[in-house]
Amino acid sequence: MKKRTLLFSLAFLGILALGYLGWTKLKFNSNGPSLLSLSLDNAFDSLDPAKAYSDDSLLISAQVLEPLYQYHYLKRPYEIQPLVAEGLPLLEAKGKLLKIKLKKNIHYHDHPAFKGKPRFLTAEDFVIQFKRLAMKSLKSPGKSLFSGLILGFDDFGDKINEDWKKIKSTPLEGVTALDDQTLIIKMSRSEPNMLYYLALNFAAPVPWEILEFQENKLDKDLIGTGPYEYTGFSSNYFGMKKFGNYRQDFYPSSGDRYANVEKLLDSSKEKIPFIDEVRFYVTSQEEERWAMFLNRDIDLLTVPKTFIPKLYDPNGELSAELKSKEVKLKHFPILANRWLSFNMKHPLVGKNDFLRRAIAYAIDYSKYVQVLSQNTNLRANSILVPGISGYLPAKDFRFKFDPALAKEYLNQAGFDKPEKMPTITYSTRGNQSIHLMEAEFIKQHLEAIGLKVQIEVLSFPDFIRKGRAGELMFFTDNWLFDYPDGENILQLLVSRNFPGVNKSAYSNEKIDQLYDELKQTTNLDQRDRIIQQMEEIVFNDLPWIPLMYESSFVLQYPEIKNFRKSSIIRNYVKYLKLER
């Protein structure tokens, strides 16, 4: 009986082992289908390339859609290279006309709108998307990039009376298709950042057939030419699979010092993409993301700041639990800034300069960085971030923690007695634990100087919606740079971008004038001077209080190869490998 029991136990263990090996093959073996599982921090409202602008929606889109240009995956400083364009634009008319040739035989993903026939990329698909961006009714955050720049862009929405059915038949003077493979862009001036704009998701092509089939409602549909084909939202994840008709494309064969040291060039010249299936799980709660990673339900984890202490043991070594899983920990700088923001149209905080200054001196910035990032981030001394032209590392911190001075400013603001103290409503940038912790931190510091604070907890989509509509009073905001130029963040302070990305509703004619001057200036030294002048005005008006520059800790299992974190390069999944 004992012998029979032993044989049964061995057989059972053998079945378990085979099951594990089968799973391993499914996830890692190059001879079978491979699955990569990643996570998203927040839900979002739209995948429409004209409207999507959150980091999570752009991450999904970047694997499926392809604009004309992209950034070299392995080079810093960032370097633009062709994606579906054949090469860099041919410049004419003193840089005001761009002629862009497209690569040939680029397949779109299958869609019923194509009626079972193969559909290839054409220049007209880009024309369609630029016309969509010009429509006021879509409220595209990318509209401001091309407003006043592309000929006829500002009038196009009125020209078609915001009727999407007229898009195809109504010409846009500044964007035309010379033939199927040649796109012409005519501008009112030379634009030094135009290549950056053409690498954005906003400039991804949209075929007329898709637009007509969906009646211009692309929030849930995602059809492109990219390495991955979107399969939709299922239960709790966004799914995609390797596109069978993806063109011949290859892993980079050159890189910077970091790429060489980290052996990120081992896959040079190999055909991409490598992985067969990708899932992006929506996990808004940090505890859930952490648990999913430890259970190997996701393969990469950007570590929530509140979980950084869990990374190390008392000796500063990687924790025993992570060591046992052979997990790798990497720390990446990212082009991201965080600040406190006031609604400058609000009758209380927007109209009382002394109140804003009182708040600026009420915050213990060093403690903020310690509490919110475990001292892994840097305190911000500028609107710009390190790595962006115009940033001055030696620039002094404009505000310091000085409760006595804060109270003096409160007195000057007209709040010299407890019964006169106003109530400040602070709105969170999400409902995760880190946002609640931040809200409590801000509340404690403001109440310490006598102010009353009410916390409004918002989900991230609600924060974006209310912020862009000018419905918030006081809040924390942040910015992941879309392209490596100071202009990218300064657009958030231009008056014509409210309502919209200018959530502070800030308006200053001099700022608007300098921003327009910046967009027309190609001399780098002159651009830096303009940026510094703008920053001085902003610090004087105080719609924003800089807090910190952000960075990322990333955990990855050893089977993940070729990963390099970047806030700008989002189409990185095609470069990743799973190896056992």
Please report, as a single letter, which amino acid is at residue 59: L
pLDDT at 390: 87
Encoded tokens for 375: 């001292």
**Across residues 187-211, what is the average pLDDT?**
96
Burial of 523 (0-12, 13-18, 19+ CB in 10 A): exposed
Q: What is the mean pLDDT of residues 435-462?
A: 96
Mean pLDDT across 357-380: 95
Q: Which two tokens stand for residue 204?
A: 């991804």
pLDDT at 92 over 70: yes
Domains in the chain: boundaries:
46-214, 335-551
Q: Measuring CA to CA, which residue among 267, 253, 254 is closest to residue 575?
A: 267
CATH superfamily name and code, 335-551: Dipeptide-binding Protein; Domain 3 (3.10.105.10)
Q: Which two tokens stand for residue 60?
A: 């999904």
d(CA 215, CA 265): 44
Count CB atoms within 10 A of the CB of residue 419. 5
The answer to whether residue 179 scores a pLDDT higher than 70 is yes
Average pLDDT of span 221-242: 95
* pLDDT (mean) for 163-169: 96
Q: What is the pTM of this model?
A: 0.88
Instruction: Specify the range with the lowest mean pLDDT, choosing from 3-17, 43-57, 497-511.
Output: 3-17
Confidence of residue 31 (pLDDT cuts 50, 70, 90): low
How many whole angstroms from its chain centre is CA 23?
33
Share the mean pLDDT of the chain.
92
Tell me the backbone φ, ψ of residue 546, rounded to 5 degrees.
-60, 140
Average pLDDT over residues 560-572: 96
The residue with tokens 């915001």 is 162
At 328, the pLDDT band (50, 70, 90 cuts) reads very high
CA distances from 181 to 177, 477, 499, 556 (A): 8, 41, 37, 41
Q: Distance (Å, rounded) from C-alpha 568 to C-alpha 580?
A: 29
330-364 tens-digit pLDDT: 999 899 999 999 999 999 999 999 999 999 999 99
Task: State the Cα–Cα distance between residues 267 and 264, nearest whole angstrom.
Answer: 7
Region 479-483: what's the mean pLDDT? 93
What integer is the mean pLDDT of 192-215? 97
The structural architecture, per CATH, of the domain 46-214 is 3-Layer(aba) Sandwich (3.40)
pLDDT at position 472 is: 98
Q: Amino acid letter at 221?
A: D
Picking from 511, 539, 507, 509, the residue whose alpha carbon sits closest to that of residue 343 is: 507
pLDDT of residue 4: 44
Mean pLDDT, residues 320-329 taken together: 94
Helix (H, G, I), strand (E, B) or coil at 243: coil
pLDDT range class, residue 580, cuts 50, 70, 90: low
Confidence of residue 394 (pLDDT cuts 50, 70, 90): confident
pLDDT at position 565 is 95
Handedness of CA 14, 18, 23, 28 (dihedral sign): positive
Instruction: With a cut of 80, say whether residue 495 has pLDDT above it.
Output: yes
For 343-358, b where at least 16 C-beta lie within 10 A, e where not — what string?
bbebebbbebeebbbb
State the pairing for strand pair 560-561/237-242.
unpaired
Instruction: Measure the CA–CA gap between 182 and 179, rounded to whole angstroms.
Output: 5
Q: How confident is the model at residue 313 (pLDDT cuts 50, 70, 90)?
A: confident
Backbone angles phi, psi at 230, to 5 degrees: -70, 130
pLDDT band at residue 411 using 50, 70 and 90 as cut-offs: very high
- Does the structure show a pLDDT above 80 at 10? no
Distance from C-alpha of 39 to C-alpha of 286, rounded to nearest angstrom: 11
Backbone angles phi, psi at 548, to 5 degrees: -160, 160
Q: Span 547-564, mean pLDDT?
A: 96
At 339, the amino acid letter reads W
